[in-house]
Structure 1
Amino acid sequence: MTRFAMAVHGGAWNIPDELWAAHQAGCRAAQAAGTAVLAKGGDAVSAVCAAIRVLEDDPTFDAGKGSFLNERGEVELDAGLMEGDQLHYGAVLGVARIQNPIDLARYIMEHNQHCVFFGEGAEALAGPAGLASVDPHSHVLPRERKRFETYRDQPEKLNSGVWRAAHDTVGALARDQHGNLAAGNSTGGIPNKQRNRVGDAALISSGLYADNEMGAAMCTGWGESIMRAGMLHQALAQLKAKGDSSEAAQAAAETAVNHLERRVGGYGGIVVMTRSGYCGAAFNTERMAFELPSKDS
């Protein structure tokens, strides 16, 4: 049987002990949702979206419901999706009225000549996509309102370690039974970010990439440093050079994170998948929530 594989992440940061179990459980649930699609012969894009919807709906993570708030106390959600056969890609940036931004990213990828939409222009596509608009406040939790107020009133806390202390960006990689790859990410950004700031997560070649001829990868962490260091590019270059094995996947992930830290002092993590579905993961924060396929699957 052709190998299929499903990997997910729930963010790289200093996840406290009291939140660790919820992060692990959320990643397992998302991986199970995506794997169920693949096991029935479903395609990689559908599997990635199924997994990310679980994570967007789980208030544990910084994506969809429970996202961090910007400097105005508002949500601004980004999501990106790419498939590895024809290299189609779609993304939405800075949306607030979409329950599952990954679904709108998929609509753009599959039905629009353009790849990326932001703000009101992106939200206007919800109707044609058959997606209901939601109240932006439905994404806001009391926990995040309290976090927002703390950083607003004590900005020194925001400037001393937020890059390591708050990254719940979520994502998924999949390989289906036909050998097609897909990658997706979804995020609410960082706490109290400047309005309209965009990180790496939803951006092609920065936060995610999928190519059946090369492999796939997704990043999480301090977006500015990830973009500057080209962490994802480093991983894919390693995959191309070292081949298609679990060892190659792990080496690619570790090389990319080491480059991130050495070149720009960045923090984050990456999950890598080879053409055949072998996976590796690495991070330089205290923890990263993720689930990889078993080596026997």
Structure 2
Amino acid sequence: MKPILLVHGGAGDIPASRVSGKLDGIKKSLRDGFKLLNNGQSSLDAVEEAVRSMELDDNFNAGYGSCLNSDGIVEMDASIMEGKYLKAGCLTLLQDIMHPISVARKVMEKTNHTFIGGESALKFAETHNFKPLTKGSLVTENAKLALDEFKERQAKGLDTIFSPTELDKKSVEELGETVGAVAIDVDGNIAAATSTGGITGKMPGRIGDSPILGCGTYADNEIGGVSTTGHGETIMRFNLAQRILQLISLKQVPVQQATEDATREMTQRLIGTGGAITLDKQGEVGIYFSSERMAWGYVKDNKLIYGINKGEIYREDL
């Protein structure tokens, strides 16, 4: 099997001013992650490294650069899953740790559990040598500005983030981005990972789709792997990752069509927008988003293939 790494950097109403930074970050993430695949390391190692790269980049809503909740605090969600034994690690409401995706992997590998959250997640991270940052270290100026703008709109009655059926499509598109990766290695093992700061102005304690298996993340060697992004409440209610994999496994729908069909149906039924990246067990790629933009890219046959606008594809040497 030829190794493949596929990543996304969030779907939503991404302003033109952020396009260049997101594309640069996508390319760096792909190079960082694929280097491990090319050296014979596992798909699990590759997706973790690709996501770690984006967690360090404030062009993305994960790790440093995460959105702020209504109290101005970063609360992060993440999940990681491998497709051979269907093992996974998920965490939520993590504060003051740079790499939530690596903590999620420790949950998978060092506990008998799948999902932990809140203060217990922070204590678990400390126990496994993740050094807590000074409070507020993950808060960026862009995140502060976004929260201020959100609160101004909310005061004018222009934002209601938890009732997407009451919003027009444009408003829902503004609500969420995320980062994620899916990979297949030379042994045919599939892994997927997703990390996010959630949505600007969320209630403290709100949990999105990203740490929930079958919604934000799923990997199964017998079918494929998915990472999703977009409006979390919508993705959770539709169970987007599993919907895509069901089309592939139960109806033998090709991976690109399955990714498109499930994402389109989600938005048609629930208004909320989003996107997904998918790899099937043969290494075929599926990419689709119903939002205005989604940063995405993959490496295949030593070529970088990436984009952010609908109908736009760039190619360059790895």
2:288 counterpart SS class: strand
Q: Which residue of 1 aligns with 2:213?
A: 204
TM-score computed with the length of structure 1 as normaliser: 0.94
Per mean C-alpha deviation after superposition, the further-off stretch among 224-233 and 57-66 is: 224-233
Q: CA deviation at 1:293?
A: 3.1
- 1:143 and 1:157 map into 2 onto residues whose CA distance is 20
Q: In the TM superposition, what are the counterparts of 1:268-283 in structure 2 within 5 Å?
A: 268-283=274-289
2:86 counterpart SS class: coil
Q: Which residue of 2 aligns with 1:220?
A: 229
2:254 counterpart SS class: helix
Amino acid at match of 1:141: T
Amino acid at match of 1:291: G
Q: In the TM superposition, what are the counterparts of 1:117-196 in structure 2 within 5 Å?
A: 117-155=116-154, 156-159=157-160, 161-196=170-205
- Match 1:235 to one of 244, 263, 277: 244
Amino acid at match of 2:212: L
Per mean C-alpha deviation after superposition, the further-off stretch among 144-153 and 130-139 is: 144-153
- Match 2:292 to one of 266, 282, 286: 286
- 1:76 and 1:199 map into 2 onto residues whose CA distance is 11
Amino acid at match of 2:230: G
Q: CA deviation at 1:162?
A: 4.4
- 1:149 and 1:31 map into 2 onto residues whose CA distance is 33
Residues 40-60 of structure 1 show CA distances to partners (whole Å, capped at 9, x for unaligned) of 000111101100000000000
Q: Please say if residues 234 and 270 of structure 2, whose CA atoms lie closer than 8 Å, have aligned partners that are also in contact.
A: yes
Q: In the TM superposition, what are the counterparts of 1:63-102 in structure 2 within 5 Å?
A: 63-102=62-101
**C-alpha RMSD over aligned residues:** 1.6
- 1:63 and 1:82 map into 2 onto residues whose CA distance is 18
- 1:5 and 1:226 map into 2 onto residues whose CA distance is 25
- 1:196 and 1:105 map into 2 onto residues whose CA distance is 18
- 2:138 and 2:8 map into 1 onto residues whose CA distance is 20
Segments of structure 1 that go 5 or more residues without pairing to the other structure are none
Q: CA deviation at 1:3?
A: 1.3
Per mean C-alpha deviation after superposition, the further-off stretch among 163-172 and 37-46 is: 163-172
Q: Please say if residues 3 and 276 of structure 1, whose CA atoms lie closer than 8 Å, have aligned partners that are also in contact.
A: no
Q: Please say if residues 67 and 139 of structure 1, whose CA atoms lie closer than 8 Å, have aligned partners that are also in contact.
A: yes
Q: CA deviation at 1:99?
A: 0.8
- 1:9 and 1:88 map into 2 onto residues whose CA distance is 22
Amino acid at match of 1:158: D
- 2:2 and 2:149 map into 1 onto residues whose CA distance is 48
Segments of structure 2 that go 5 or more residues without pairing to the other structure are 161-166, 304-318
Q: CA deviation at 1:158?
A: 2.9
Per mean C-alpha deviation after superposition, the further-off stretch among 158-167 and 223-232 is: 158-167
Q: Which residue of 1 aligns with 2:308?
A: none
Q: Please say if residues 34 and 299 of structure 2, whose CA atoms lie closer than 8 Å, have aligned partners that are also in contact.
A: no
Per mean C-alpha deviation after superposition, the further-off stretch among 17-26 and 233-242 is: 233-242
Per mean C-alpha deviation after superposition, the further-off stretch among 286-295 and 120-129 is: 286-295
Q: CA deviation at 1:18?
A: 1.6
Amino acid at match of 1:287: R
Q: CA deviation at 1:33?
A: 0.9
Q: Please say if residues 91 and 116 of structure 2, whose CA atoms lie closer than 8 Å, have aligned partners that are also in contact.
A: yes
Q: In the TM superposition, what are the counterparts of 1:16-55 in structure 2 within 5 Å?
A: 16-55=15-54
- Match 2:261 to one of 239, 255, 263: 255
Q: CA deviation at 1:129?
A: 1.7
Q: Which residue of 1 aligns with 2:105?
A: 106
Percent identity over paired residues: 33
2:137 counterpart SS class: helix
- 2:68 and 2:126 map into 1 onto residues whose CA distance is 25
Amino acid at match of 1:178: D
Q: Please say if residues 234 and 255 of structure 1, whose CA atoms lie closer than 8 Å, have aligned partners that are also in contact.
A: no
Amino acid at match of 1:260: M
Residues 26-73 of structure 1 show CA distances to partners (whole Å, capped at 9, x for unaligned) of 111111111100000001111011000000000001101111110111
Q: Please say if residues 68 and 75 of structure 1, whose CA atoms lie closer than 8 Å, have aligned partners that are also in contact.
A: yes
Q: Which residue of 2 aligns with 1:267?
A: 273
Residues 162 and 295 of structure 1: CA distance in aligned 2, closer, same or farther (over 3 Å):
farther
